[in-house]
């Protein structure tokens, strides 16, 4: 569909949805971001909605600056997926046992491992860099040093909220019925703790005194505050990547135990809440993807729907106007509180029919009806990505 421009901004704010359909709070956030003197431009994805710190579904390119609250507290949150050789015919008719096995193998919600994960004991997990990675903990903000034991025990854990693990079936295409494994998680408590400490520091800096929104406080390149944030940010993003890698390896091995014949393609992994150094329009920028994936030309990515709708494996189109990005999912159309007021457990059961998952009051806020229509979201970003596969969950594990 291409993009349109949001009116009333200093920097260009390019929108891949109907600008008039954006909720007023989110539009105000986007205009505030577009007014910042450090912003080169903003790309707004079709899953856009109001968020804490900055608009979810926005890609913010800044010159020599980054806003820690725009990145948010779940640093490095993202997706991993892998296609298997199994087909629907290989799965049992009753999937409850498979769901329980996943929940037993991977801690969810606030749970953590009793002992830290030993990467050497997990078949198929990349072994490189673990010792150097953990040595880096000692260089992080001194105020989180007491959290190392907890951070180690939370590697390989899912968390709660909108995080999930799914077993999916490929629909349509050349090989329908192929089984995929997919999961969504981030940097757990340590990412949150690091983010909150840096957000508080940024708000107190003099150059942020007159901003239209205190949540848009920035660090500037060449300052000790920026150096400290970037050090902790890069580490937390790597923690999130390794956390997902551990869970995916555990999940793949669990399936091997049940289906010895299984084989796997190369896994796909992508952050959708992070910062990267990139170059556009002749300018080096720090790109914050707040609920967006990188979609460089030919790069594979994952765009999930909700716990009762399909998801998409995509290939990036390398659209520079969109800062080589695409949406990170369907995007919420109502808040969690509103979803709880609007829907019942009966609604949840109806909307997740055919999916082996929780259907209790604790996950009503994640009901498919609380999210935008993923098919419409995909239709609005055809110039950002192409669809490689459409997959639909048959098992969904929530925190």
DSSP secondary structure letter of residue 120: G
Contact 263, 90 (CB under 8 A): no
Annotation marks residue 328 as catalytic: yes
Q: What Cα–Cα distance (Å) separates residue 151 from each residue in 160, 183, 189?
A: 16, 19, 7
Helix (H, G, I), strand (E, B) or coil at 82: strand
Q: What Cα–Cα distance (Å) separates residue 167 from each residue in 87, 271, 357?
A: 11, 20, 11
Annotated active-site residue in 49, 163, 184, 328: 328
Q: What Cα–Cα distance (Å) separates residue 27 from each residue in 8, 20, 30?
A: 10, 9, 5
Contact 268, 316 (CB under 8 A): no
Q: What Cα–Cα distance (Å) separates residue 317 from each residue in 122, 284, 304, 325?
A: 35, 21, 18, 9
The span from the CA of 355 to the CA of 190, in Å, is 32
Phi/psi of residue 300, each to 5°? -85, 140
The span from the CA of 66 to the CA of 81, in Å, is 29
Strand partners, 165: 183, 397
Instruction: Give the tokens for residue 270.
Output: 């992508």
Helices 96-105 and 224-258: crossing angle, nearest 10°? 140
The span from the CA of 124 to the CA of 247, in Å, is 11
Give 196's contacts (C-beta < 8 A, 6+ positions apart).
73
Strand partners, 243: none
Give 32's contacts (C-beta < 8 A, 6+ positions apart).
211, 212, 213, 216
Which residues are part of the catalytic machinery?
328
């Amino acid at each position: 569909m291409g993009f349109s421009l949001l009116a009333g901004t200093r920097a260009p704010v390019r929108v891949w949805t109907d600008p008039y359909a954006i909720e007023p709070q989110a539009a105000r956030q986007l205009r505030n971001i577009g007014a910042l003197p450090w912003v080169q431009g903003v790309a707004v994805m079709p899953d856009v909605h109001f968020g804490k710190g900055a608009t979810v579904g926005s890609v913010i390119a800044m010159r020599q600056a980054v806003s820690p609250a725009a990145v948010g507290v779940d640093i490095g949150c993202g997706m991993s997926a892998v296609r298997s050789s199994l087909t629907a015919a290989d799965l049992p008719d009753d999937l409850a046992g498979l769901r329980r096995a996943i929940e037993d193998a991977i801690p969810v919600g606030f749970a953590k491992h009793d002992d830290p994960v030993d990467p050497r004991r997990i078949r198929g997990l990349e072994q490189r860099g673990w010792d150097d990675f953990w040595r880096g903990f000692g260089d992080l903000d001194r105020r989180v040093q007491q959290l190392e034991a907890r951070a180690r025990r939370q590697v390989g854990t899912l968390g709660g909220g909108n995080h999930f693990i799914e077993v999916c079936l490929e629909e349509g295409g050349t090989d329908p019925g192929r089984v995929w494994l997919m999961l969504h998680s981030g940097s757990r408590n340590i990412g949150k703790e690091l983010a909150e400490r840096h957000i508080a520091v940024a708000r107190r800096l003099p150059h942020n005194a007159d901003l239209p929104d205190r949540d848009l406080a920035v660090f500037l390149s060449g300052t000790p505050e920026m150096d400290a944030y970037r050090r902790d940010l890069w580490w937390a993003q790597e923690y999130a990547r390794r956390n997902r890698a551990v869970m995916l390896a555990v999940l793949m091995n669990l399936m091997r135990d049940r289906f010895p014949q299984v084989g796997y393609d190369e896994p796909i992994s992508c952050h959708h809440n992070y910062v990267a150094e990139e170059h556009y329009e002749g300018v080096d920028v720090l790109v914050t993807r707040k609920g967006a994936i990188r979609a460089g030309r030919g790069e594979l990515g994952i765009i999930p729907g909700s716990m009762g709708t399909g998801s998409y494996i995509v290939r990036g189109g390398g659209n520079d106007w969109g800062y080589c990005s695409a949406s990170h999912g369907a995007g919420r159309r109502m808040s969690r509180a509103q979803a709880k007021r609007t829907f019942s457990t009966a609604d949840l059961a109806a909307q997740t029919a055919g999916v082996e998952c929780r259907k209790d009051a604790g996950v009503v806020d994640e009901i498919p009806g609380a999210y935008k229509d993923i098919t419409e979201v995909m239709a609005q970003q055809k110039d950002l990505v192409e669809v490689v596969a459409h997959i639909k969950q048959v098992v969904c594990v929530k925190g």
